[in-house]
Amino acid sequence: MIRLKMSTGKYHGVRPNDVVGMIAYHADIPGNTIGKIRIEDKHTLVDIPEQFVEKVLAKNGDYRIGKHKFALERA
């Protein structure tokens, strides 16, 4: 598993199911492969299987929860 950091967190109303749904939908990966999710105040840490990391990072401009766009990067 590779840990990725999202530029959004509790402050923006992020919930674990939002994270799984958005990443799985846009990166076209199975949601059950996404590992631990740790939501902090201003960022979120997500564990993604190594074989899907490049696919997830390639869709970086498409992610949003509500009206808030966010980016993913390696933690």
Q: What is the pLDDT of residue 2?
A: 93
Cα-Cα end-to-end distance for the chain: 12
* Tens-binned pLDDT, residue by residue, of the chain (75 aa): 999 999 888 998 889 998 999 999 988 999 999 999 999 999 999 999 999 999 889 888 778 887 888 888 898
Domains of the chain: 2-74 (3.30.70.330)
Q: What is the pLDDT of residue 49?
A: 94
Q: How far apart are CA 53 and CA 66, in angstroms?
A: 23
Q: What is the pLDDT of residue 12?
A: 87
